[in-house]
Amino acid sequence: MQDEFAQQWKRVEDMLTERFGKTPNMEAILFLIGMQELGHLKKKFTKEQKQDLMHIATCTLLSQSGYYELEGHDKDGWPHFREVQAIPKMSMPDQERFLKEHIIAYFDDQEGR
């Protein structure tokens, strides 16, 4: 089971490395997902906007498991989510794996579109 997870994560890392020329860290992956979900690209984001993009990514990822749901978009097109259920308390390694599992599922879904 651990081996299968490692292979799936490696596949995501390899795909992103091929696309962007280097292996992104977790923050960069969340930023990329947030940009994709926002849908309109611009060259510069403020530090606050970058944090907002990572929040959008996290909410999008966790909406796959019913923790968040999309409420709608504001006048600037930014998505807004509401928490549906609390995320269970986890250790840092468990949190990272939990997020990676959702990232794998996200990219699997994107490939399937």
DSSP label at residue 86 = P
pLDDT for the residue 84: 97
pLDDT for the residue 6: 93
Express each pLDDT in 36-61 by its tens digit. 999 877 778 899 999 999 999 999 99
The domain locations on the chain are 2-112
What's the rounded Cα separation, in Å, for the pair 51 and 41? 15
Whole-angstrom CA distances from 78 to 13, 92, 111 are 27, 29, 23
| Helix, coil or strand: residue 28 | helix
pLDDT for the residue 76: 87
Express each pLDDT in 57-95 by its tens digit. 999 999 999 999 999 999 988 999 999 999 999 999 999
pLDDT for the residue 43: 74
Confidence of residue 113 (pLDDT cuts 50, 70, 90): low
Environment class of residue 105 by beta-carbon count within 10 Å: exposed (0-12), middle (13-18) or buried (19+)?
A: middle
**Structure tokens belonging to residue 72:** 């709608």
Whole-angstrom CA distances from 85 to 23, 52, 64, 69, 104 are 32, 20, 12, 10, 22
pLDDT for the residue 39: 87
pLDDT for the residue 2: 72
Closest CA to 52 of 67, 71, 37: 37
